[in-house]
A = this chain, B = another copy of it.
C-alpha cells in the first residue's frame, strides 16, 4: 500500500505508472485495475468556483487513510493499493484524489476501489473551502453520498 498527500498538482497517470513499476512482482498476477480520479469541477451547488483550498489534519489524515486501505485489504483479495490526495490550493480541472486498486479478479477491484473512496469521503479529515466567482468563499458543508439511494 502506498498513501501520499501532495501539496502540489499531480499527474494521475504518472503516479499509476510509477506505482506499477515499483510493484513489478505483481505484474503477471494483475488481472484487474480499478482507478478512480476525483477532479475539481468549476461549479458546485449552482455557483461558479474559481479555486479551492484543501485543509487537512497532518498525522490523522494519513492514519485514517491507512486504516481505510487496511480494511479494504482485509475485506477483498487485493494485490496492491495506491492512494494520492491533494492538499493546499487547487484549481478547476486539478486532480484531487486518485485511488488505484490492483487485483486478480474484477469484482474485488471494483468493490475495494469504491469502498476506499466512500470511506475516504466520510472519514478522512480533509475540508474544502471554495472561492467563488462572486468573490465570496465558503466551506463545503457535506460530501454527497456516493451510492444511489
- The chain A residues found within 8 Å of chain B, CB to CB, are 13, 16-17, 27-43, 92-93, 104-107, 109-111, 113-114, 117, 144-148
Which of chain B's residues have a CB closer than 8 A to the CB of A16?
Answer: 13
Tell me the bound Cα distance from A50 to B44 in angstroms: 50
CB pair A145–B107 under 8 Å, yes or no, is: yes
A74 to chain B, nearest CB (A): 15
Which of chain B's residues have a CB closer than 8 A to the CB of A104?
Answer: 41
Nearest residue (CB) in B for A36 is B34
Among B31, B33, B36, B92, point to the contact of A110 (Cβ < 8 A). Answer: B36
16 pairs from A and B in contact (CB 8 Å cutoff): A28-B43, A28-B92, A28-B93, A29-B41, A29-B42, A30-B39, A31-B41, A32-B38, A34-B34, A35-B37, A105-B144, A106-B146, A107-B145, A107-B147, A110-B113, A110-B114
